Structure 1
């Protein structure tokens, strides 16, 4: 009988789980606004840049290589980038991250 009273008292003292649920939702919302949402915006901007890529654009690859786009093969998703006079490398279109002008502006900040 004492055990039943002790269990009933513990159940009554625990209260509602609602504050814990509200706190978890608040933490997720804060994470979404400060981490996930800005990353999604950045990815969207990179994808828009990659889709607007054309021959003659000065670009920076994911490996940090600066060059000029010479040819884009839309069927395979490969881009030929000239990194020096007469030196052309082929990279995947998804590894061309930005223009040279944008990267130089970011370094000046």
Structure 2
């Protein structure tokens, strides 16, 4: 009898896991892989919306060159996406 009372709550947690938590973890994993696979010359967009080309990389930072030649240093985690060329 007690198990039947807990069944709706358990079912709700299972639904939340498959609809919300699991897809979010999958997206985070894809972003981490993309950030780890960055290379010099890749076109990227930062989380702030800055578009540029990677000029240099090290473990934690990325130097991005703008169209006018300006170079800015960002944390690797600030890269939102890699633009297909």
Please, what TM-score do these two structures have when normalized by structure 1? 0.73
Task: Show structure 2 runs of 5+ residues with no match.
Answer: none
Higher-RCO chain (CA-CA 8 Å, sequence separation at least 6): 2
Shift of the alpha carbon at 1:97?
1.8
1:10-25 pair list within 5 angstroms: 16-25=1-10
Matched-pair contact (CA < 8 Å) for 1:59–1:68: yes
- Tell me the C-alpha RMSD between the 2 structures: 1.4
Aligned residues: 85
Task: Show structure 1 runs of 5+ residues with no match.
Answer: 1-15, 103-109
Alignment of 1:85 with 2:68, yes or no, is yes
- Runs of 4+ aligned structure 1 residues displaced above 4 Å come to none
Q: Return the alpha-carbon distance in structure 1 between the equivalents of residues 47 and 19 of structure 2.
A: 24
Rg larger in 1 or in 2? Answer: 1
Matched-pair contact (CA < 8 Å) for 1:66–1:100: no
Q: Return the alpha-carbon distance in structure 2 between the equivalents of residues 20 and 63 of structure 1.
A: 47
1:70-94 Cα distance to aligned partner (Å, 9 max, x none): 00121xx010011222211111001
Q: Return the alpha-carbon distance in structure 2 between the equivalents of residues 86 and 68 of structure 1.
A: 10
* Matching residue within 43, 47, 52 for 2:37: 52
